[in-house]
Amino acid sequence: MSAADPALGAGYEDPPTRVGFFTDTSVCIGCKACEVACKEWNGVPAGDLDLLGTSYDNTGGLGADTWRHVAFIEQRRPPGTEAGSGELRWLMSSDVCKHCTRAACLDVCPTGALFRTEFGTVVVQEDVCNGCGYCIPACPYGVIDQRRDDGRAWKCTLCYDRLRDHTEPACAMACPTDSIQFGPLDELRQRAGRRLEHLHDLGVEDARLYGHDEADGVGGAGAFFLLLDRPEVYGLPPDPVVGTGELPRMWAAAGAAALTLVASAVAAFAGGRR
């Protein structure tokens, strides 16, 4: 068990090992089986029939009705650059909720609908959510979303029901190339490190991990990635920071300001009596 296991912080005594996703985009073939398997298992409503013209991506991004989203990026990298030879490159990557170690959505939820599971994941309880929407701007990745005709917030549960049945999440099970790997987070991080090293040995200089670092702005993600380009290329924020992480300092500053105000007022009154 990692020292940073958020399940411990959430009050679970002796929780099971923290689990998560490692999405290795270097072997993603863009089949979208993850998108379909997720919707089938979780009963997520179908989206609109919109041809978006963003390569083969007609889903657009994560949302209330899309808990797995495969991005398609067509690139022609200029010749002479480190990894580029003028050849066409087609990047594919399956995005998902990051299940942050420090989750802002959970911090701001006033009803307790969002909660930390014993597996260290973050889940919305649909029968508790009141649709206040505070969680939506709180998420640094823009993952959690309100459903249009319903108002409640929805996102990936990392198949909480399947985890409790000791079964891997639907998307990971459906992935034909093991681009989506599910397992204990510590193990996944080690595996990802070895994979990155291997790719670097092969000369894939631009390969990098994203969301694996416990020192990052969300305390490390429970769902992290191996990318072949900068995160921005995939539509991922380069340096996500959990906004609520600043709350203690903000409260302290606000408190100091209030004290100063009070002190000034007292001083003013006191001075007035002089």
Partner 1 sequence: MAECHPVGFQWVMEAKARGATVVHVDPRYTRTSALADVYVPLRPGTDIAFLGGLINHVLNEGKEFREYVVAYTNAATIVADDFRDTEDLDGIFSGFDPERRSYDPSSWQYEGTVAMPAAGHREWWNGAGSETASSGRRPPARDETLTHPRCVFQLLRRHYSRYTPELVERICGVPRQQFLQVAQLLIDNSGPERTSAFAYAMGWTQHTVGVQSIRAASVLQLLLGNVGRPGGGILALRGHASIQGSTDIPTLYDLLPGYLPMRRAHDHQGLDDFVAGASSRTGQWGHMRAYLVSLLKAWWGESATPENEFCFDYLPRVTGDHGTYQTVQGQLDGSVKGYFLAGENPAVGSANGKMQRLGMSNLDWLVVRDLAMIESATWWLDGPEIETGELRTEDIGTEVFFLPAAAHTEKDGSFTNTQRLLQWHHQAVDPPDDARSDLWFYYHLGRIIREKLAGSDDEVDRPVLDLVWDYPTVGDLDEPSAEAVLSEINGWDASGRPLSSFTQLADDGSTACGCWIYCGCYADGVNQTARRKPGAEQSWVAPEWGWAWPANRRLLYNRASADPAGRPWSQRKAYLWWDEDRRAWTGHDVPDCTTTKPPGYQPTEGASGVDALSGTDPFIMQADGKGWLFAPAGLTDGPFPTHYEPQESPVDNLLHTQQRNPVRRVFSRRHNRYHPSGGASGAEVFPYVVSTYRLTEHHTAGGMSRGLPYLSELQPEMFCEVSPELAAERGLEHLGWATIISARTAIEARVVVTSRMASLDVAGRRLHQVGLPYHWGHNGLTTGDSANDILSFVLDPNILIQESKVATCDIRPGRRPRGAALVELVESYQRRAGIGPETGVSNERG
Work out how close the CB of 155 gets to partner 1 at its nearest, in angstroms, rounded to a whole number: 18
Q: Does 92 bind partner 1 (CB under 8 A)?
A: yes
Q: Does 204 bind partner 1 (CB under 8 A)?
A: no
Q: Does 63 bind partner 1 (CB under 8 A)?
A: no
Q: Does 81 bind partner 1 (CB under 8 A)?
A: no
Q: Does 68 bind partner 1 (CB under 8 A)?
A: no
Size of the site for partner 1 (CB under 8 A): 32
Q: Does 85 bind partner 1 (CB under 8 A)?
A: no
CA distance 27 to 71: 14
Contacts (CB under 8 A) with partner 1, residues 233-272: none
Q: Given candidates 19, 34, 91, 123, which one binds partner 1 under the rule CB under 8 A? A: 91
Residue 205: DSSP 8-state: T
Stretch in the footprint of partner 1 (CB under 8 A) among 24-32, 148-156, 162-170, 251-259: 24-32
Q: Does 49 bind partner 1 (CB under 8 A)?
A: yes
Q: Does 203 bind partner 1 (CB under 8 A)?
A: no
Nearer to partner 1, 88 or 215 (CB): 88
DSSP string, 155-201: ----SHHHHHTT---HHHHH-TTS-EEEEEHHHHHHHHHHHHHHHHH
Which of 121, 114, 109, 113 lies closest to 221 in space, CA to CA?
121
Residue 127: DSSP 8-state: T
Which of 84, 93, 73, 91 lies closest to 204 in space, CA to CA?
84
CA distance 259 to 274: 22
Nearer to partner 1, 33 or 221 (CB): 33
Q: Does 177 bind partner 1 (CB under 8 A)?
A: yes
Nearby residues of 233 by Cβ (< 8 Å), 6 or more positions away: 73, 75, 91, 227
Question: Which segments of the chain are extended strands (E)?
Answer: 19-24, 68-76, 88-96, 114-116, 122-124, 145-146, 153-154, 180-184, 208-210, 223-227
Q: Does 29 bind partner 1 (CB under 8 A)?
A: yes
What does the per-residue mask of binding to partner 1 show for 131-170, with x meaning CB under 8 A? Answer: ----------------------------------------
Which of 6, 20, 68, 9 lies closest to 190 in space, CA to CA?
20
Residues that bind partner 1 (CB under 8 A): 27, 29-33, 35-36, 39-40, 46-51, 53, 55-56, 58-59, 74, 76, 87-92, 176-178
